[in-house]
Amino acid sequence: MITDARQAAENIGLAVVSVVTQSEHPRFNEITAAVQAALDTIDRETAYRYARYITLSLEGDAQEEWGRGMDTKTYPYQGAYAESLVAEGEVKGEAKGKAKGKAELLLKLLDSRGHAVPDDVRERVMECRDEPTLDNWFERALKGDSVEELFL
């Protein structure tokens, strides 16, 4: 366990592993603070890669604690790090939005064709995030005579 910024800077690889493996430790906030300070002493690209690795490796409260530390300080690599998280979120959001739009169109098609769509079917369609599945259901809805034919 590394809680000293100087020690973390001397062996940044071990310090990064310490953050990931000590996420349940009572002094986890000290471990993260030491590593975040150490990341500030190395080149920006390497610091970015380590910060991203830590973020993706942690879960739950530990990830939140790491994020709080990142939010309260300004590190030279933080801009690229934040930009990558935003871009990743945008890609996920776009895919989710596209699937939701397809699901809504599918339900609109079923309604316009006079099909009574049960709540469980509406829910199943709206929860689906797999675009090829939604496309397949849409094709079936265009050709089919009943809602039940969607899921054959």
What is the reported pLDDT for 6? 93
Here the tokens at position 55 are 């973020």
Residue 29's identity, in one-letter code, is N
Question: pLDDT tens digits, the chain, 152 residues: what are they?
Answer: 889 999 999 999 999 999 999 999 999 999 999 999 999 888 888 888 888 888 888 888 888 888 887 765 555 555 555 566 666 666 667 767 888 888 888 888 888 888 899 999 999 999 998 888 988 898 888 888 888 888 87
Contact indicator for 43, 76 with CB cutoff of 8 Å = no
What is the reported pLDDT for 124? 93
Contact indicator for 39, 51 with CB cutoff of 8 Å = yes
pTM above 0.85, yes or no: no
3-state secondary structure at position 59: coil
> To which residue do tokens 């933080």 refer?
78
